[in-house]
Structure 1
């Protein structure tokens, strides 16, 4: 089975070598931010804090989802507190000058489901985010803490 697959790949590669190249019309250079700026800097402490106009209201199922991930063994970073458990996640958020979210990068905590979930929570709060007027896309930092009882 693998040998047949390899033969198929070789045949496709040799067919690709025989296909004539058709020149295309030149296109304008992209006006996007360089790829290097799509990644947050290594030191997040230098980033300005992401300002949210009103306190984010956490639905009961927000922390319940994270609690479920921890109890299922998919997240080991939860901390036991006097009131129960909590899990804090740092995120870097790339904002455009007009206040749109361009990219969200959660700090890896070895729990991809919660990392992506937290990014979704920030994306859902986009209407409550205040951005200082800048001429270029700017990285900001924020943290989310999920908490639940014992």
Structure 2
């Protein structure tokens, strides 16, 4: 527990302006498949997330996630931007963690750096 707290204390803060974060390396970015989108569609259909039904029945939901990546390519932390749907926010952050763990991209330099990813869910309702 103490080690976790020490690691948290030394992690760089997420910048207030996420547009300044470099994009998550392509090999680490989640590729959203229909089965992954199904969870989000089900959350919307169940009314657990506020998303107005579009006139043409086509939904697009975007979730920004900041990811702290170490020099060794290991993910240290992920933080979703609030979209008024906690289940989808956490689901998206988990997808970023999962893909980054499966595809580590070592980089030069010794500091942990924040990156950004935008997860786009696209389906017909």
Query: Which TM-score bucket, shorter chain as reference?
Result: 0.7 to 0.9
2:59 alignment counterpart: 85
Contact 2:11/2:112 (<8 A) preserved: no
Residue 97 of structure 1, aligned match among 61, 67, 71: 71
The alignment's TM-score, normalised by the length of structure 1, stands at: 0.68
Contact 1:52/1:130 (<8 A) preserved: no
The alignment's TM-score, normalised by the length of structure 2, stands at: 0.80
1:60 alignment counterpart: 34
In structure 2, C-alpha distance between the alignment counterparts of 1:44 and 1:134, rounded to whole Å:
21
In structure 1, C-alpha distance between the alignment counterparts of 2:52 and 2:92, rounded to whole Å:
14
1:72 alignment counterpart: 46
Any unmatched runs of 5+ in structure 1?
Answer: 1-29
Higher relative contact order (CA 8 A, sep 6+): 2
Across the two proteins, how many residue pairs are aligned to each other?
120
Query: What SS is found at the alignment partner of 1:53?
Result: helix
Contact 1:51/1:131 (<8 A) preserved: no
Residue 122 of structure 1, aligned match among 96, 99, 113: 96
Structure 1 pair 71–135 and aligned structure 2 pair: CA distance change class (3 A): same
Structure 1 pair 36–125 and aligned structure 2 pair: CA distance change class (3 A): closer
Shift of 1:109: 0.7
In structure 1, C-alpha distance between the alignment counterparts of 2:91 and 2:32, rounded to whole Å:
13
Shift of 1:57: 3.7
Cα-to-partner distance string for 1:24-50 (whole Å, 9 max, x where unaligned): xxxxxx86363562x411111111111
Shift of 1:78: 6.3
Any unmatched runs of 5+ in structure 2?
Answer: none
Asked which structure has the greater CA Rg, the reply is: 1
In structure 1, C-alpha distance between the alignment counterparts of 2:106 and 2:49, rounded to whole Å:
32
